[in-house]
Amino acid sequence: MKTLLFLVAQLVLSWATTVPTTPDNFFYHDFLNENGSKEIHFSGVKLHVDTAQLSVFGVRGGNATLPCRFWYEPELSSPRAARVKWSWVSAAGGQETDVLVTFGSRSRSFGRFRGRVQLRQEFTGDAALVMSDLQLNDTGLYRCAVVDGLEDKSATVHLELRGVVFPYQHPRGRYHLSFLEAQRTCEEQDSTLATFTQLFQSWEEGLNWCNAGWLADGTVQYPITRPRTECGGHNVAPGVRSYGRRHRHRQRYDVFCFSSSLRGRVYYHQPSHKMNLTEAQRACQGDGAEIAKVGQLYAAWKFTGLDHCDGGWLADGSVRYPISRPRTNCGPSEPGVRSFGFPPPEHKHGVYCYKSEDE
Ligand SMILES: *[C@@H]1O[C@H](CO)[C@@H](O)[C@H](O)[C@H]1NC(C)=O
Ligand SMILES: *[C@@H]1O[C@H](CO)[C@@H](O)[C@H](O)[C@H]1NC(C)=O
Ligand SMILES: *[C@@H]1O[C@H](CO)[C@@H](O)[C@H](O)[C@H]1NC(C)=O
Ligand SMILES: *[C@@H]1O[C@H](CO)[C@@H](O)[C@H](O)[C@H]1NC(C)=O
């Protein structure tokens, strides 16, 4: 039996080396479909695929390498070209879409991933996916599939971004946003709808919020770390509570948005006097910047420890301030971004501006 397997491996290898590499494996399939050949030629040669990590973390604008390697058992004495295909299911759910397909030195990337992904190929069997310029909504489950004609094996790895989740309420108050409006609202504030994993992580870090908000998968949930009567009752354990999937058009809630690190800088600006909203917008422009969005203020607070005890205007017409080192007269005893809500636009405040790194 051993001899036979050895011969089989030799046969496969000599076949693989004498036949020019073709961009697809039709030839291979024809070859295999000859009756009985499959059993004879490939019995005992097994393809294995695995990813060394369950999850990989990145930040917006950064790079990430999703590990994947494949090997044969018994080991082959010379390398074979296999087809590697990476695909993705968004953290929001939906269909599996193609990311990258490679065969030997040829490769093609697809859709939103075009030009941002490549196969690492540092050693034999290395099929790690190298991603650059990560976007907020690149999170999800990535599948590394290796096809070499005889077998098709795959393994998966999660991509998560480090960032910050923030609850957002419409200026007119609680529960005003349909799912689509919630999605647009987050985008307008330089963020994206949070996923359940992101909300759960924030809950573990202490996020306690008594209003239900949309998540990327179309469910409505809220994180409770300190149960209270008006928040579902005293007797219920802390946790992320779910209303389940809600009607995307007819039902209205708040939203949980997610933002990650920034390329630019957020700072408090107050030229010589406090300003109404229009003056605040102009003041930032006059400083070669723009009025900061809510997601940018949260990102600066989370990633650079921005700390300033004066409320300032933001792009959505709200007034907020970021506190990293809690102290008296600067709000509650926990760090956080405090909000004064949406004052009338003629009220006078400072402003938070955002200056992009490119300028
Ligand atoms: C060859 O395989 C096909 C199906 O793959 C089968 O229908 C056919 O009977 C087989 N022929 C022989 C000679 O075994
Ligand atoms: C990401 O990788 C590219 C090369 O692929 C490199 O030029 C760039 O500096 C990297 N970016 C970061 C943030 O590490
Ligand atoms: C993902 O985010 C980018 C910008 O960050 C946006 O242009 C794109 O429409 C988003 N895609 C999806 C599917 O939400
Ligand atoms: C802000 O003040 C300017 C005058 O400096 C005035 O023209 C403008 O209408 C005011 N805007 C608001 C929203 O009150």
CA distance 157 to 144: 8
Ligand 4 centroid to Cα of residue 273, in Å, is: 14
If one compares 68 and 13, the residue with the highest pLDDT of the two is 68
Ligand 3 centroid to Cα of residue 226, in Å, is: 34
Q: What value does the mean pLDDT take over residues 333-341?
A: 94
CA distance 210 to 223: 7
Question: Is 28-34+44-161 a CATH 3.40.190.10 domain?
Answer: no
Question: Looking at the predicted structure, is the pLDDT value of residue 313 above 60?
Answer: yes
Q: What value does the mean pLDDT take over residues 23-45?
A: 41
Q: What is the pLDDT of residue 78?
A: 72
Ligand 4 centroid to Cα of residue 275, in Å, is: 9
Q: What is the pLDDT of residue 230?
A: 72
User: Which ligand lies nearest the alpha carbon of 33?
Assistant: 1
Q: What value does the mean pLDDT take over residues 42-62?
A: 87
Q: Which atom of ligand 2 is least distant from the CA of 132? A: 1
Q: What is the pLDDT of residue 150?
A: 66
Task: Name the closest-CA residue to atom 10, ligand 2.
Answer: 63
Q: Ligand 3 pocket check: which of 59, 60, 112, 139 to mutate, most ligand atoms within 8 Å of Cβ?
A: 112
What CATH code is assigned to 164-259? 3.10.100.10
User: Which ligand lies nearest the alpha carbon of 63?
Assistant: 2
- The ranges assigned to domains in the chain are 28-34+44-161, 164-259, 264-356
If one compares 240 and 35, the residue with the highest pLDDT of the two is 240
Ligand 2 centroid to Cα of residue 131, in Å, is: 9
pTM over 0.75: yes
Averaged confidence pLDDT in the chain: 86
102, two tokens? 């490679």
Q: What value does the mean pLDDT take over residues 50-61?
A: 94
Question: Looking at the predicted structure, is the pLDDT value of residue 66 above 90?
Answer: yes
Pick the range with the lowest mean pLDDT from 9-13, 290-294, 325-329.
9-13
* Pocket residues: Cβ below 6 A from ligand 3: 135-137
Nearest CA among 335, 329, 282 for reference residue 306: 335
Name the β-bridge partners of 108. 101
If one compares 73 and 30, the residue with the highest pLDDT of the two is 73
At 208, the pLDDT band (50, 70, 90 cuts) reads: confident
CATH topology of domain 264-356: Mannose-Binding Protein A; Chain A (3.10.100)
For residue 229, count other CB atoms closer than 10 A to its CB.
Answer: 8
Task: Name the closest-CA residue to atom 1, ligand 3.
Answer: 137
150, two tokens? 């005889």
User: Which ligand lies nearest the alpha carbon of 280?
Assistant: 4
pLDDT digits (tens, 9 = 90+) for 106-137: 899 999 999 999 999 999 899 999 999 999 99
Task: Name the closest-CA residue to atom 7, ligand 2.
Answer: 132
Q: What is the pLDDT of residue 227?
A: 79
Ligand 2 centroid to Cα of residue 12, in Å, is: 40
Q: What is the pLDDT of residue 10?
A: 38
Name the β-bridge partners of 130. 65, 118
Q: What is the pLDDT of residue 165?
A: 97
Assess whether the C-beta atom of 150 lies below 6 angstroms from ligand 4: no
Q: Ligand 4 pocket check: which of 275, 276, 349 to mutate, most ligand atoms within 8 Å of Cβ?
A: 276
Q: 164-259: same fold as 28-34+44-161?
A: no
Question: Looking at the predicted structure, is the pLDDT value of residue 142 above 90?
Answer: yes
Task: Name the closest-CA residue to atom 3, ligand 4.
Answer: 279
At 93, the pLDDT band (50, 70, 90 cuts) reads: confident
Beta strands 254-260 and 163-168, pairing class? antiparallel
Q: Which atom of ligand 2 is least distant from the CA of 62? A: 13
Q: What is the pLDDT of residue 43?
A: 53
Question: Looking at the predicted structure, is the pLDDT value of residue 6 above 70?
Answer: no
Ligand 2 centroid to Cα of residue 9, in Å, is: 41
Task: Name the closest-CA residue to atom 11, ligand 3.
Answer: 137
Task: Name the closest-CA residue to atom 4, ligand 2.
Answer: 132
Beta strands 129-131 and 140-147, pairing class? unpaired
Ligand 3 centroid to Cα of residue 269, in Å, is: 31
pLDDT digits (tens, 9 = 90+) for 210-235: 899 999 999 999 898 887 777 777 77
User: Three-state secondary structure along 175-206?
Assistant: CCECHHHHHHHHHHCCCEECCHHHHHHHHHCC
Q: What is the pLDDT of residue 308?
A: 97
Beta-carbon contacts of 19 under 8 Å, excluding residues fewer than 6 positions away, are 27
For residue 96, count other CB atoms closer than 10 A to its CB.
Answer: 13
Question: Looking at the predicted structure, is the pLDDT value of residue 70 above 60?
Answer: yes
Q: What value does the mean pLDDT take over residues 83-99?
A: 93
Phi, psi of 321 (to 5 degrees): -155, 145
Q: What is the pLDDT of residue 314?
A: 98
pLDDT digits (tens, 9 = 90+) for 163-182: 999 999 999 999 999 999 99
Ligand 3 centroid to Cα of residue 98, in Å, is: 16
